[in-house]
Amino acid sequence: MQVVIEKVNSKDEEQAVIKAVEITDEISGAVELLEGDSKGFAVSRDGKTYIIKASAVYYIESVDKKSFVYTKQGCYDCKYRLYELEVMLGGYFMRCSKSMIINLKKVRNVKSQISGRIDATLLNDEVVVISRGYVKEVKRRLGI
Amino acid sequence: MNKLKLWLEQTMMISFAILVGILIEGLVYAFTGDPLSSFSMSWLQLLSIVITGAVCSIPTLFWLTDDLPRNKFILRIIIHCIGLYAVVALLGFVFKWFEHLDGFIFMTVIYFLVYIFVWLVTLWFHKRDDNRINKALDDIRDDE
């Protein structure tokens, strides 16, 4: 495949366009790599440590200065703080409130409440709240 | 900056709604016998409408922008509605929008119509945002 790299002036302008006849495993891998989904990080549960991929995470919540990572397989403890995870994961992971990071790729749909905050229903049917202060950033990340 | 933008938007929306209300008042008078040509507005009345819109927008910035549960938020809306009604009645008295009881009743009707209109427009904006966000989420959602 021919690869073209064009230099741009700011981070906002950065993008990768892939033109392909079909989405092969290699292309999916490249997309994961570019979007940061393939990044793994250490979590623990019941005294055991695991490495989980960012793409497996639904959301991360901070309670009493401890971070908890929620996946399809359940909840894990994480040694990283929310602001560290936010920088580490990037891409479609973003703050939806002071104590939570959400993976936008795991959101099934959203519904605004009368107060302006948004209820986001995840693929596991859990509902998390996107505070009104973060709604603008959600739109920006989605290119709206 | 966001508050300033919200304040200007609300001021424009309320001023527009009051003007529509006055237009309805003019049409009612026209249909009940008064010739439409006798209906006129002075620059002071127009200015008073914009001032009323600007003043009525201020409580919204501080009273209705918190993340609250639905019940508490609705309670705040009721208090906000009654409080603003008192402010509008006072401004109406100062700007001489009414001289007799029928004028006061008409202003009251217009006030509640404007209040409902502003909320309907706000909810329509929310609905439109929901649709745009959900459409954007469809493009990035993980398959599970």
* CATH number, residue A111: 2.40.50.1020
- Structural domain including B99 reads 2-138
Rounded CA gap, B57 and B122, in Å? 13
pLDDT value at residue B6: 80
**Quick check: is B143 in a domain?**
no
ipTM over 0.90: no
**Quick check: is B104 in a domain?**
yes
Nearest chain A residue to B60 by CA distance is A115
**Quick check: is A67 in a domain?**
yes
Candidates B67, B78, B132: best to mutate against A (most CBs of A within 10 A) is B67
- Of the partner residues A92, A105, A110, the one whose CB lies closest to the CB of residue B133: A110
pLDDT in tens, chain A (144 residues): 888 888 888 777 778 888 888 888 788 777 766 766 667 889 999 999 999 988 899 999 999 989 999 999 999 999 999 999 988 887 789 999 999 999 999 999 999 988 788 999 999 999 999 988 888 888 888 888
Angle at A128 between CA A126 and CA A133, to 5 degrees: 165
Question: Given an 8 Å threshold on Cβ–Cβ distance, is A55 in contact with B70?
Answer: no
- Of the partner residues B74, B130, B141, the one whose CB lies closest to the CB of residue A112: B130
**Quick check: is B144 in a domain?**
no
Q: Is the full-model pTM beyond 0.80? A: no
Which chain B positions have a beta carbon within 8 Å of A143's beta carbon?
136
- The domain tally of chain B equals 1
- Of the partner residues B2, B123, B133, the one whose CB lies closest to the CB of residue A138: B133
Tokens 């006061």 sit on residue: B104
- Return the amino acid letter for B43: W
Q: Under a CB-based contact definition with an 8 Å cutoff, are residues A35 and A43 in contact?
A: no
Angle at B98 between CA B109 and CA B61, to 5 degrees: 60
Q: Which of A55-59, B17-21, B53-57, B58-62 has the highest mean pLDDT?
A: A55-59
- Structural domain including A91 reads 35-141
pLDDT value at residue A79: 92
- The domain tally of chain A equals 1
**Quick check: is A25 in a domain?**
no
Question: Given an 8 Å threshold on Cβ–Cβ distance, is A72 in contact with B70?
Answer: no
